[in-house]
Amino acid sequence: MPQFAANLTMLFTETPFLDRFEKAHNSGFKAVEFLFPYPFTASEIQKKLDQYGLKLVLHNLPAGDWDAGERGIACHPDRVAEFREGVAKAIEYAKALGVPQLNCLAGKVPAGVDQKLLHDTFVSNLKYAAAELKKVGLKLLIEPINTFDIPGFFLSTTQQALDIIKEVAADNLFVQYDIYHAQRMEGELCNTMEKNLSKIAHIQLADNPGRNEPGTGEINYVHLFKFLDRIGYAGWIGCEYKPATTTEAGLGWIKKLNS
């Protein structure tokens, strides 16, 4: 049976962030993930993890000005120093919170910048980040994101991510495979996951269309979960979806799996 982590950025959003840990615990989750811990101190978050017996399995490197629409800066040639500062900050939080892996968002392509320069900047930043994370035993992840939801996002397909991982040549660099984004960009979910299982360290989910909970769209999640068990995926699956109504009302899909 897959292990599910509640994404606290997307779930229980009617509740203040630090109160979502209790909601996740009460809903049966054993682990959580979220985009960013940085608005809070590590001790504030750790207190909630300890209080509710939760494991933190993932958060992201700093990704620029999120509220202004930025979705990462790792491909931006003019922000390398800021990226490196973010790596140090993320490692500080990860060490305090015991998270085993950090996700690096590539970012949207800035206007007027040569594609090769963007690629080379991203690769260089990943080499730096992977080396820094390896010093403290952490995995670095990169996540392809669909360009329908985020037009211009630099990293958008599994193959592009795999090619970049090969070029970076760091043994702690992996793919964060988001089923929703992959379905929108390329399909072939089962074949892609099986073929590249050794390079996939984390999976996230949402159904399509709508990015709501499993069972609301076209993706056969009952089949996918059995398939992941069969091929031996041993990582966590982050529930990064937008509840169609409330989070609690939409958790029936997990109950069906366990029945």
Question: pLDDT digits over 163-217, tens only?
Answer: 999 999 999 999 999 999 999 999 999 999 999 999 999 999 999 999 999 999 9
Query: Which CATH fold would you assign to the domain 3-258?
Result: TIM Barrel (3.20.20)
Residue 50: band (very low, low, confident or very high) from pLDDT cuts 50, 70, 90: very high
Average pLDDT over residues 76-101: 98
Question: Please, which residues have CB within 8 angstroms of residue 215's CB and are 6 or more apart in sequence?
Answer: 207, 221, 252, 253, 256
Confidence of residue 56 (pLDDT cuts 50, 70, 90): very high
The SS3 of residue 82 is helix
* pLDDT(55) > 90: yes
Which listed residue (33, 70, 132, 240) is catalytic?
240
**pLDDT at residue number 257:** 77
Rounded Cα gap, residues 56 and 227, in angstroms = 25
Q: Any idea which residue has 């990169």 for tokens? A: 142
C-beta of residue 182 within 8 angstroms of C-beta of residue 149: no
For the cut 70, the answer to whether the pLDDT of residue 65 exceeds it is yes
Q: What are phi and psi of 33, to 5 degrees?
A: -145, 165
Catalytic residue (one of 143, 167, 186, 194):
143
Q: Has residue 259 got a pLDDT over 80?
A: no
Q: What is the pLDDT at residue 174?
A: 98
Is 43 buried (19+), middle (13-18) or exposed (0-12) by CB count in 10 A?
Answer: exposed
What are the structural domain ranges in the chain?
A: 3-258
Over residues 68-74, the mean pLDDT reads: 97
- pLDDT for 135 beyond 80: yes
Report pLDDT for 2. 85
Query: Can 240 be counted among the known catalytic residues?
Result: yes
**4-34: pLDDT as tens digits:** 999 999 999 999 999 999 999 999 999 999 9
Is 194 among the catalytic positions? no
pLDDT grade for 1, boundaries at 50, 70 and 90: confident
Mean pLDDT along residues 208-229: 96
Q: What is the pLDDT of residue 245?
A: 96
Residue 220 has pLDDT above 80, yes or no: yes
